[in-house]
């Protein structure tokens, strides 16, 4: 079957036939195991695993224990092939090249039996001139993918020492202790992680484009924002043009595409080869790009064109957010600041760490990207950290972050490992970094480039340095020299050259060179709660300038578990299936169970355990976020681990693989609101804080109620407040004994309600006793259901205080806009359910429970 081309890159500005044209080679593909002869239909972009699945050769890798039986796939070589014709108007153009957006990973590429590419990096783009090879018809494109395991085991075997790769699940892959992931420029998480499976993919994972043009082409445009303030934006447009001829009177123009206004223009002579032309322009009183919650994420549309005489040869439109975005690290009395300054305003970073949405990356559709980013936006986040063990994300991800005001902390793709940074590997990484920095540099959302995840911490804090020194000091010296060259020289130089003005950090966490991180300087990964089993209340006292990682695990809710583990006989957290979907092993399962039993009642069954472990996770992260925000401005960032999952699993995520919000995500949404009212008991004092991220001072009234769980109001206090912009302040404090008087802690809840002069309402509840000791009543929750667009509206009331009210329906795609919430007597809560279920089906199957339904207790 031949590829039938669809023109995907025709310009809409009345360009001539000599203008560049882009076609995608995405149909008519087939594949086979290299040592066998049977061909099967293939999907491009795709992976070997998904093609095997689509052809019925393997079962769903995510179902039950299927992952275990699929480890043979990465030991095999694979061949992909297609044939295609080229339209006359494309073939006749002077320049024709193939652009491989992403080949995973070791790939020999042949066009018409001529080898045109020997690829060895999943993260790079490859442009190959094929004008002298390509034909008008019956072109054969063939790609031979080498097994990444077979390619890299000889590299492992050849060394006198081994590079650390702490999360490589080599044993699960049947290659014993040979952790070869560090040798491949490939997504590290494919080899397994403590939240992910070991499914080492191969394939054409991003599009293959056929590009054709006449004698000139705009190759790249960079909008360097030299200086941006509220009064003016000074922008230098750096245009790279390929030309086969020397042409005088070439006109390069930059316009506002929305109104046609010319912003800058120059007339120049093009030389043969690559030309770089700069055009500076100034926009007075620009509409600035702001992060989520601070203002509109405005995007200009700049059109840059190349014309010769009266003919427009090429033009590109780019969406640009004009902003000044800096990382401020200055000495102060406590150490050194660490915060992002946007348009002159210090911004408290609120967000999560982002991993790839699937182990099989081409399955991540635009719809999935949209939900992922909007779930961050709707949880009041302003930052996502693209973590270094995954991928440099798809362009569409960054476009969405631009559009919705999500700042991106962008790691280079190195995590929890050491790498052989010399020779060919070094040059490969350099080009990878250049490709991706240039690809992403026009995105307003990019706030920082970071060299790696936890590699510096591992060297100085996890014992790697001393381990190598004990083996052989020369090993340690070699590795450390490579390390410093990689993160202190090469990567920062590339950022400085190709995206000047953008912050760079050598590692995360990182404080000062040649040391592990501390809490007075730089960013911090705080894992004593969870890994070291520190009490959750420690979040209230541990301080850092910027928490770029912290987290707490949970299993998904039952409806999600049923997708990969439908048999009740396996409904135990220690069953073989559940353990296969818990990559932290017994350690992690025991952590969840131990924390739960220390602070919460004993769940009465598996479903109740899942529900209660979600409440536990949500409470833990809520505690952390509120503490971090109360510590503002000493602390200026709370970015928890993690936003999402790549397969169905027990993990630290706040959204499971199916996109369902866990309690953590609902709780984070409240804790990340622009105004937070937060209570905490410390050192026998009961304190109430108000934190504001707003850029203006506001007036508000604060109501503090001490409530018996039966609904009786024991104390009722009203305060008038002036809340300063961008501030955290303790607004009320009292000795805990005086506040409680003779009332028992286990009978009480503190209800905080803040109302602003603009009628915004912010609420929070605080318990002064552990959940397992609380004397919760069995509430009677009444409700009514009304049909609305795209679902139903449920209005709920309770006769007693109901903790952790949870709604569920038998629809994996059903979304409740509120869930796991507390229901106070005499206060109504309305929940919107988005679902395709019929009213009868929804009414019959809607479940509503609270915490007392999950354990055996009589009130």
pLDDT at 189 over 90: yes
- Based on the fold, state whether residues 369 and 289 are members of the same structural domain: no
Would residue 670 count as lying in a domain? Answer: no
> What is the model's pLDDT at position 270?
97
Q: Is the pTM of this model over 0.95?
A: yes
Cβ neighbours, 10 Å, residue 36: 9
Q: Are 233 and 214 in contact (CB under 8 A)?
A: no
> How many CB atoms are located within 10 Å of the residue 693 CB?
25
Residue 557 DSSP one-character state: P
Same domain? For 146 and 274 the reply is no
Specify the pLDDT at position 18.
65
Answer whether residue 184 is part of any domain: yes
Give 253-274 as a DSSP string: EEEETTT--EEEEEEEEEPSEE
Structural Rg of the chain based on CA atoms: 29
Residue 574 lies in a domain: yes
Spatial contact of 629 and 728, defined as CB atoms under 8 Å apart: yes
Domain boundary among 210, 230, 254: 210
Mean pLDDT of the 23-39 span: 98
Q: Looking at residue 858, what is its pLDDT? A: 62
Q: Does residue 759 have a pLDDT over 50?
A: yes
> Which whole number is the average pLDDT over 768-783?
97
| Residues 619 and 568 reside in one and the same domain | yes
- The Cα–Cα gap between 346 and 257 comes to 32
pLDDT at 122 over 80: yes
User: Distance between CA 195 and CA 204 in Å, rounded?
Assistant: 25
Same structural domain for residues 737 and 801? Answer: no
Q: What integer pLDDT is reported at residue 19 of this predicted model?
A: 85
CA atoms lying within 13 Å on the CB side of residue 806: 24
> Whole-angstrom Cα distance, residue 764 to residue 752?
5
Residue 274 placed within a domain: yes
Q: Say if residue 584 is in the same domain as residue 533.
A: yes
Task: Provide the residue range defining the domain that includes 762.
Answer: 675-773
The CA distance from 152 to 186, in Å, is 12
| Domain assignment of residue 763, yes or no | yes
Weakest-pLDDT range from 7-21, 142-156, 299-313, 671-685: 7-21
CATH number at residue 245: 2.60.40.10
Q: How far apart are the first and last CA of the chain?
A: 71
Would residue 393 count as lying in a domain?
A: no
Let me know if residue 326 belongs to a domain: no
The number of folded domains in the chain is 6
Model pLDDT, residue 16:
42
Query: Phi and psi at residue 186, in whole multiples of 5°?
Result: -150, 155
Say what percent of the chain tops pLDDT 90: 97
pLDDT at residue 14 in the model: 34
Whether 786 and 762 map to the same domain: the answer is no
| Whether residues 403 and 543 fall in one domain | yes
For the chain, the 3-state helix, strand and coil shares in percent, each to the nearest 5, are 25, 35, 40
Q: Same domain, yes or no, for 48 and 135?
A: yes
- At residue 773, φ and ψ (nearest 5 deg) are -100, -5
Q: For 56-193, list the strands marked E by DSSP.
A: 78-84, 95-100, 103-104, 106-111, 114-120, 126-129, 139-145
The first and second tokens of residue 291, run together, are 């992060």
Give residue-wise pLDDT tens across range 525-584.
999 999 999 999 999 999 999 999 999 999 999 999 999 999 999 999 999 999 999 999
Question: How high does pLDDT run on average in the chain?
Answer: 96
Q: pLDDT (tens digit, 9 = 90+) per residue, 321-350? A: 999 999 999 999 999 999 999 999 999 999
In the prediction, which pLDDT does 5 show? 54
Residue 72 sits in a domain whose CATH number is 2.60.120.260
Residues 647 and 743 grouped into a single domain: no
Same domain, 578 and 446: no
Percentage of the chain beyond pLDDT 70 is 98
157 and 18, same domain (yes or no): yes
pLDDT in the model for residue 857: 76
Boundary of a domain, candidates 729, 750, 773: 773
CA dihedral of 357, 363, 367, 369, whole degrees rounded to 10:
30
Whether the predicted pLDDT of 859 surpasses 80: no
Which residues are CB-contacts of 427 (< 8 A; sequence separation ≥ 6)? Answer: none
For residue 3, the model assigns a pLDDT of 61
Tell me if 226 is assigned to some domain: yes
- Domain boundary among the residues 661, 693, 710 is at 661
Same domain? For 172 and 60 the reply is: yes
Rounded-to-integer distance, Cα 441 and Cα 578, Å: 42
Q: How many Cβ atoms sit within 10 Å of the Cβ of residue 813?
A: 12
pLDDT at 628: 98
């Amino acid at each position: 079957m031949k590829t039938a081309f669809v023109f995907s890159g025709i310009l809409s500005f009345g360009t001539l036939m000599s203008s560049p044209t882009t076609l995608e080679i995405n149909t008519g593909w087939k594949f086979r195991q290299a040592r066998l002869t049977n061909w099967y239909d293939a999907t491009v972009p795709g992976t070997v695993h998904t093609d095997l699945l689509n052809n019925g050769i393997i079962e769903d890798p995510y179902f039950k224990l299927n992952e275990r039986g699929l480890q043979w796939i990465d030991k095999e070589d694979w061949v992909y092939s297609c044939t295609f014709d080229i339209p006359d108007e494309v073939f006749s153009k002077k320049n024709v090249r193939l652009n491989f957006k992403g080949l995973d990973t070791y790939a020999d590429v042949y066009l018409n039996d001529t080898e045109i590419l020997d690829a060895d990096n999943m993260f790079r783009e490859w442009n190959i001139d094929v004008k002298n090879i390509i034909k008008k018809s019956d072109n054969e494109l063939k790609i031979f993918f080498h097994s990444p395991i077979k390619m890299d085991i000889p590299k492992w075997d050849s060394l006198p020492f081994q590079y650390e790769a702490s999360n490589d699940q080599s044993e699960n892959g049947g290659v014993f202790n040979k952790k070869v992931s560090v040798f491949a420029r490939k997504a590290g998480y494919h080899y397994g992680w403590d939240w992910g499976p070991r499914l080492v993919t191969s394939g054409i994972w991003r599009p293959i484009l056929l590009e054709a043009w006449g004698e000139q082409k705009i190759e790249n445009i960079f909008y360097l924002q030299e200086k941006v303030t509220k009064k003016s934006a000074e922008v230098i447009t750096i245009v790279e043009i390929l030309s086969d001829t020397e042409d005088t009177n070439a006109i390069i123009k930059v316009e506002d595409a929305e109104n046609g206004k010319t912003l800058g223009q120059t007339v120049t002579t093009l030389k043969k080869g690559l030309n770089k032309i700069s055009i500076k322009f100034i926009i007075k009183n620009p509409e600035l790009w702001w992060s989520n919650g601070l203002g509109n994420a405005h995007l200009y549309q700049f059109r840059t064109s190349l014309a010769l005489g009266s003919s427009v040869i090429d033009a590109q439109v780019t969406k640009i957010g004009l902003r000044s975005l800096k990382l401020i690290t200055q000495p102060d009395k406590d150490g050194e600041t660490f915060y992002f300054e946007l348009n002159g305003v210090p911004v408290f970073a609120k967000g999560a760490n982002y991993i790839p949405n699937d182990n099989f990356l081409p399955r991540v559709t635009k719809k999935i990207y949209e939900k992922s980013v909007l779930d961050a936006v709707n949880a009041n986040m302003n930052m996502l950290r693209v973590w270094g063990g995954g991928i440099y994300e798809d362009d569409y991800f960054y476009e969405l972050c631009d559009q919705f005001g999500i700042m991106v902390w962008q790691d280079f793709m190195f995590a929890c490992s050491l790498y052989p940074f010399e020779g060919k590997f070094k040059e490969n990484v350099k080009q990878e970094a250049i490709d991706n920095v240039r690809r992403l540099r026009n995105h307003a959302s990019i706030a920082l480039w970071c060299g790696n995840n936890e590699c510096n911490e591992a060297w100085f804090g996890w014992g790697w340095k001393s381990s190598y020194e004990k083996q052989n000091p020369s090993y340690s010296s070699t590795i450390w020299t490579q390390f410093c060259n990689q993160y202190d020289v090469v990567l920062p130089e590339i950022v400085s050259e190709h995206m000047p003005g953008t912050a760079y950090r050598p590692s995360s966490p990182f404080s000062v060179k040649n040391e592990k991180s501390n809490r007075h300087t730089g960013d911090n990964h705080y894992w004593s709660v969870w890994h070291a089993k520190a009490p959750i209340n420690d979040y209230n006292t541990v301080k850092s300038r910027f928490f770029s990682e912290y987290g707490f695990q949970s299993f998904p809710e039952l409806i999600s578990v049923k997708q990969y583990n439908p048999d009740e006989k396996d409904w135990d957290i220690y069953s073989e299936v559940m353990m296969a979907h818990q990559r932290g092993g017994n350690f992690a399962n025991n952590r969840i169970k131990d924390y739960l039993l220390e602070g919460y009642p004993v769940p009465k069954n598996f479903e109740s355990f899942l529900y209660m472990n979600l409440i536990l996770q949500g409470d833990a992260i809520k505690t952390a976020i509120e503490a971090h925000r109360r510590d503002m401005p000493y602390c200026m960032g709370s970015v928890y681990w993690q936003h999402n999952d790549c397969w169905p699993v027990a993990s630290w995520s706040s959204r499971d693989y199916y996109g369902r919000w866990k309690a953590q995500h609902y709780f984070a949404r409240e804790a990340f609101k622009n105004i937070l009212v937060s209570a905490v008991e410390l050192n026998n004092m009961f304190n109430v804080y108000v934190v504001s991220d707003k850029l203006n001072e506001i007036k508000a009234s604060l109501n503090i109620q001490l409530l018996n769980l039966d609904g009786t109001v024991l104390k009722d206090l009203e305060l008038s407040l002036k809340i300063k912009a961008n501030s955290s302040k303790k607004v009320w404090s009292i000795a805990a004994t005086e506040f409680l008087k003779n009332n028992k802690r286990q009978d009480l809840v503190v209800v905080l309600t803040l109302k602003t002069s603009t009628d915004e309402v912010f609420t929070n509840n605080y318990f002064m006793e552990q959940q397992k000791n609380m004397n919760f009543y069995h509430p009677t929750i009444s409700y009514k259901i009304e049909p609305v667009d795209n679902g139903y509206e449920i209005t709920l009331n309770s006769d007693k205080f109901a903790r952790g009210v949870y709604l569920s329906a038998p629809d994996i795609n059903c979304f409740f806009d509120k869930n796991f919430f507390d229901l106070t007597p005499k206060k109504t809560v309305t929940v919107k359910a988005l679902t395709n279920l019929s009213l009868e089906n929804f009414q019959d199957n809607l479940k509503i429970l609270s915490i007392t339904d999950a354990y055996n207790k009589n009130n």
